[in-house]
Amino acid sequence: MSTAIYPGSFDPVTLGHYDIIERSSRIFDRVIVGVLRNSAKSPLFSEEERVNMIRHVARNLPNVEVKAFDGLLVEFAREEKASVIVRGLRAVTDFEYELQMAQMNRVIAPEIDTLFLTTNLKYAYLSSSMAKEVAMYGGKLSAFLDPEIASLVRAKFAPEK
């Protein structure tokens, strides 16, 4: 059985992430979306919220599981018996960082490969921070986020009553 890990901070999960999750679920028998617990990015959403949001968007993909992790990604992959790490490449600007990370991971765990999927062109510009910025200024989120996720993001920026 082939198992892949798709890691990230997912703060929040976007339609671009979903595109990668859905395509990975067609390539592998089992896909584990790994939510980085201690992100240095001081996330807007808690670990539990981020996990639940991904479970919501991936609810119709039976071979997709969502788990939080901390520590080294390759150790998490080993624990889950995953032989592949999936990453999405949006633009050439992603490449250098992704290549460095893939090579580091390969030195630590030579038995685990990194597979890059090119992001759907529709989402090549998208990031979680950009979606949050649009939400902060009250902009329309339907091109970036699942409707349920969009309401949760909007609620975070709604003025306290």
Catalytic residues: 17, 41, 90, 128
Q: Which is nearer to ligand COA, 7 or 25 (CB)?
A: 7
Other CB atoms within a 10 A radius of the CB of residue 62 amount to 9
Nearest distance, CB of residue 151 and ligand COA, angstroms? 19
Q: How far is the CB of 152 from ligand COA (least distance, A)?
A: 16
Site residues for ligand COA per CB under 6 A: 7-9, 11, 14, 16-17, 20, 36, 41, 72-73, 88, 90, 101, 104-105, 119, 123, 126-129
Give the nearer residue to ligand COA in terms of CB position, either 30 or 132. 132
- The pair phi, psi for residue 48, each rounded to 5°, is -65, -40
Paired with 32 in beta bridges are 5, 65
Question: Which of 8, 58 has the CB closer to ligand COA?
Answer: 8
Nearer to ligand COA, 24 or 30 (CB): 24
CA distance 161 to 156: 12
Which string of DSSP letters, residue by residue, matches 117-152? EEPPGGGTT--HHHHHHHHHTT---TTTS-HHHHHH
Shortest spacing between CB 7 and ligand COA, in angstroms: 4
**To 5 degrees, how large is the angle CA 9–CA 12–CA 18?**
90
Tell the smallest beta-carbon distance from residue 76 to ligand COA (Å). 8
